[in-house]
Structure 1
Amino acid sequence: MPAPIGTAAVNAMGAAAAYRTATATPASNPAEGFGSALQRAIEGTVQAGRQADAASTGAMLGTVSVTDTVLAVSQAELALQTAVAVRDRVVSAYQDIMRMPI
């Protein structure tokens, strides 16, 4: 039986809200800081990709609507673009630091 229209969208929105909350909330332990925030962001990106894969498979099998599939794939694409932008910024900052004279 096909999933109700909007189920994947609701799940995707919930995952996006959790991702934003996890990355926007400061760490309670100062030792966790940037590394744990980066780890949570990467895990959120991987989870979005898995949801998109599951939605695509469900669409091919006829159990997930096309709308839900498009929403899941769009969320995964946005998460990946964000991860690549952050990676590029980190690499650029590292290169700037390495170019600094001692």
Structure 2
Amino acid sequence: MVERAEINSVLQQMRDMKMQAQQGMQPELNQAQSVRPVADDKGDSFADLLKNAVDGVNNSQAEAKSLATAYEKGVQGVDLHQVMISMEKASVSFQAMTQVRNRMVSAYEDVMKMPI
């Protein structure tokens, strides 16, 4: 459930940036004339949120793999249903992350097509 909250936060930031772009707001520029990282109320930047989401997906996949290995070795207390649920969670989180990546690529392409 943590991954879903992080993904929703990333999507909300993307929606906010889209609204700002539609309203004609200019991003703040620092001395090097590059866009400053956008931070939310907690101080996390977009890159941090994205990294945390990717790390969460990676952790769920690693957990699923370790449970599957433990089940294959016959470790007591590891049931097939635990393994299957863990693998499905990893699969769903990976699919969600793939969709977020696809949307981000699409948004990037849209921004690159905008006239200066």
2: CA distance, partners of 1:54 / 1:37: 26
1:33 positional shift = 2.6
State whether residues 42 and 83 of structure 1, in contact with CA within 8 Å, keep that contact through their aligned partners in structure 2.
yes
2: CA distance, partners of 1:46 / 1:86: 15
TM-score of the pair, normalised by structure 1: 0.72
Unaligned runs of 5+ in 2: 10-39
Structure 1 runs (4+) deviating above 4 angstroms are 24-27
Q: Does 1:69 align with 2:69?
A: no
What is the one-letter code of the residue matched to 2:73?
Answer: L
What is the one-letter code of the residue matched to 1:19?
Answer: E
Q: Which has the higher contact order (CA 8 A, sep 6+)?
A: 1
2: CA distance, partners of 1:72 / 1:55: 8
Matched ranges for 1:75-94 at <5 A: 75-94=89-108
CA RMSD in angstroms, aligned pairs only: 1.8
Matched ranges for 1:5-84 at <5 A: 16=1, 18-20=2-4, 23=6, 27-29=41-43, 32-63=44-75, 64-84=78-98
> Identity of counterpart residues, as a percentage?
28
User: CA, structure 1 residues 92+84, in 2 after alignment: closer, same or farther (shift >3 Å)?
Assistant: same
What is the one-letter code of the residue matched to 1:96?
Answer: D
Equivalenced residues, count: 83
User: Whose Rg is larger?
Assistant: 2
State whether residues 59 and 65 of structure 1, in contact with CA within 8 Å, keep that contact through their aligned partners in structure 2.
yes
TM-score of the pair, normalised by structure 2: 0.64
User: CA, structure 1 residues 86+20, in 2 after alignment: closer, same or farther (shift >3 Å)?
Assistant: closer
CA offsets 1:62-82 (integer angstroms, 9 cap, x no match): 222100000110000011001
